[in-house]
Amino acid sequence: MLFVIDVGNTHTVCGVFAKEELLHHWRVVTEPERTVDEFGLLLGNFFTFHGIKPKEIKGLIISCVVPPMLPILEEVAEKYFHTKPLVVGPGIKTGMPIFYDNPTEVGADRIVNAVAAYEHYHHELIVVDFGTATTFDYITAKGEYMGGAIAPGIGISMEGLFQRASKLPRVEVLQPKEVIGKNTIHAMQSGIFFGYVGLVDEMVRRMREETRSDPKVVATGGWARLIASESTAIHEVDELLTLKGLKIIYQRNLPRKK
């Protein structure tokens, strides 16, 4: 079995693959102050609940955009799974050329998403990831990562309104029935929801115009399905895209059989 871990700024998502099948996956809050033993105990509980034994894990790969978390997880891998993890970063084989001014600046999760999407569709792509930040990544028909755009995420925007505007409450993000809100909560929900739908559709339109192409648009991340319900630009939603990409990259870095 293969254990994959994607550490984001807000959430950490883990999954266990048996060959090509994703057996189980979990999402927890990213807490850099969590100790090695605390993390080991947490994962152990997940494994026990689903009847998986740590010794069944034969490989482990980590994608991490929170630097303090990486050494913790590397120690967890060696202490509790007795394996040296593969870490997505400089020098790893992704199978995808990266045409960025400084390729090391690209978040590991963005590359992993791009690899997974291109492996599945083999088409020009725009990958929209609704995470802590909302990111847009363009991949050519040849499978080349060309770059993209980064905007504040939905959660950050909502929290910013709550913290910086003294009379505005913290509200649930959902699709309101009407654009014109008749009260403060509905007005905020409208602004966030339809504002991000507009953001996505306009960014995709401009990327298409700039590249003179017709890419397939794939969305992932916690808010993907909600925004895709109204967006005219998003074609597919794959909330597990990053986990699938980690499996692909792990397989591409296995030693070649002689």
Return the active site residues.
Answer: 109
Q: How many CA atoms lie within 13 A of 161 on its CB side?
A: 19
Beta bridge partners of 4: 15, 61
Token pair in block for residue 158: 């909502």
SS (H, E, C) the chain: CEEEEEECCCEEEEEEEECCEEEEEEEEECCCCCCHHHHHHHHHHHHHHCCCCHHHCCEEEEEECCCCHHHHHHHHHHHHCCCCCEECCCCCCCCCCECCCCHHHCCHHHHHHHHHHHHHHCCCEEEEEECCEEEEEEECCCCCEEEEEEEECHHHHHHHHHHHCCCCCCCCCCCCCCCCCCCHHHHHHHHHHHHHHHHHHHHHHHHHHHHCCCCEEEEEECCHHHHHCCCCCCCEECCCHHHHHHHHHHHHCCCCCC
First to last CA, the chain: 23
